[in-house]
């Protein structure tokens, strides 16, 4: 009787979360289908899961209007990969050092590191530092270095190291005459891979979706450095300008771009690469956020 009840409970839970997953996925599916619909059908019949009239006009317009679109996609890949790797290189040793009890003055350093979580120096001061002192303007590093180290991610790694990295493991590495760098690379990194991969995923999403640093640090004479998100934002602005012009020139033959479906196509272009990669990192994300929360 108890086993039957357990099976029924499992079935109910499975069905509940299956329905919940479908509900969560439906808006994503609606966006994808709308991107492949014609502007006229969406205007006349609204958003539909099955397009009333199939069309690739939004994607064609995006390619035509964004001459730097292939280059910007490559730029986003370079920025995302480089920024993620450098973030791990900077934050992993820092979090590991802070988690060790034998590290002197770690309390003072923790306070110093946590200050940016409360307040920052402001946009003007950061812009002056990045452009006048570091000379990052019109470079890839202008879109990488400002968000290279996150205090929140650093604290996430710090707590994981404290909770899930036994002191005996580090001590055994010392007894084997391993240097701190060797201990970090060959002992700490494999043991703490879940939290490292979790931070890598978060940083990857952040760099891929980032466009504001490009607005600040990349001028119009260096369009070859634009990332994908910023190019999509510029296309969106161009659409709005053309729609306003079409309203004022309603008596003339003016071309009106597919504004609604084009927005959906932009979402598809920006989100689909992340959707493809996410299942491969899902297990690391789940483990990294849960392991270490309960010590024992």
Other Cβ atoms closer than 10 A to 185: 14
pLDDT value for 130? 87
Domain assignment of residue 36, yes or no: no
pLDDT confidence bin for 296, thresholds 50/70/90: very low
pLDDT confidence bin for 294, thresholds 50/70/90: very low
For residue 134, the domain's CATH number is: 1.10.3720.10
Backbone angles phi, psi at 260, to 5 degrees: -70, -55
Domain assignment of residue 214, yes or no: yes
CA distances from 199 to 8, 14, 54, 203, 226 (A): 37, 29, 40, 6, 25
Average pLDDT for 259-270 = 78
Structural domains of the chain, count: 1
Q: Are 218 and 62 in contact (CB under 8 A)?
A: no
Q: Which of 154, 83, 86, 163 is nearest to 114 (CA)?
A: 154
CA 51 – CA 40 distance, rounded (Å) = 11
pLDDT value for 292? 45
- Quick check: 160 pLDDT over 70? yes
Residue matched to tokens 């272009």:
269
Q: Environment class of residue 82 by beta-carbon count within 10 Å: exposed (0-12), middle (13-18) or buried (19+)?
A: middle
Domain assignment of residue 277, yes or no: no
- Quick check: 14 pLDDT over 90? no
Other Cβ atoms closer than 10 A to 123: 10
- The structure tokens listed for 60 are 């064609």
The C-alpha R_g of the chain, in whole angstroms, comes to 25
pLDDT tens digits along 84-128? 999 999 999 988 888 888 888 888 888 888 887 777 777 888 888
- Quick check: 177 pLDDT over 80? no
CA 93 – CA 98 distance, rounded (Å) = 9
Residue matched to tokens 């996609």:
73
Domain assignment of residue 296, yes or no: no
- The structure tokens listed for 155 are 């604290």
pLDDT value for 3? 60
Domain assignment of residue 265, yes or no: no
Domain assignment of residue 275, yes or no: no
Average pLDDT for 168-174 = 80
Domain assignment of residue 10, yes or no: no
pLDDT confidence bin for 241, thresholds 50/70/90: low
Average pLDDT for 183-188 = 84
- What mean pLDDT value characterizes the chain? 79
Domain assignment of residue 30, yes or no: no
The residue range of the domain holding 134 is 66-257
């Amino acid at each position: 009787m108890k086993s039957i009840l357990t099976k029924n409970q499992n079935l109910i839970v499975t069905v509940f979360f299956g329905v919940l997953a479908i509900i969560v996925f439906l808006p994503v599916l609606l966006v994808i289908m709308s991107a492949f619909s014609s502007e006229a059908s969406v205007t006349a019949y609204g958003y539909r899961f099955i397009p009333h009239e199939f069309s690739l006009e939004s994607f064609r317009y995006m390619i035509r209007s964004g001459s730097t679109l292939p280059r910007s996609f490559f730029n986003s890949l370079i920025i995302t990969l480089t920024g993620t790797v450098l973030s791990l290189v900077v934050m992993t040793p820092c979090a590991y050092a802070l988690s060790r009890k034998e590290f002197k003055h770690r309390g003072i350093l923790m306070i110093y590191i946590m200050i940016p979580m409360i307040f920052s120096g402001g946009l003007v001061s950061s812009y002056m530092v990045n452009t006048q002192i570091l000379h990052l303007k019109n470079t890839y590093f202008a879109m990488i270095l400002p968000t290279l180290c996150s205090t929140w991610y650093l604290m996430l790694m710090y707590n994981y190291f404290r909770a899930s990295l036994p002191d005996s493991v580090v001590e055994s590495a010392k007894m084997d005459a391993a240097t701190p760098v060797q201990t970090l690379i060959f002992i700490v990194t494999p043991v703490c891979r879940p939290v490292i991969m979790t931070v890598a995923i978060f940083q990857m999403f952040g760099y891929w979706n980032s466009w504001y640093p490009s607005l600040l640090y990349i001028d119009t004479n260096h369009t070859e450095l634009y990332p994908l998100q910023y190019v999509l934002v510029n296309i969106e602005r161009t659409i709005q300008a053309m729609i306003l012009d079409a309203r004022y020139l309603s008596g003339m033959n003016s071309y009106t771009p597919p504004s609604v479906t084009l927005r959906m196509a932009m979402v598809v272009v920006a989100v689909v690469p992340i959707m493809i990669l996410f299942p491969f990192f899902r297990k690391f994300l789940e483990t990294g956020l849960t392991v270490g929360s309960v010590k024992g």
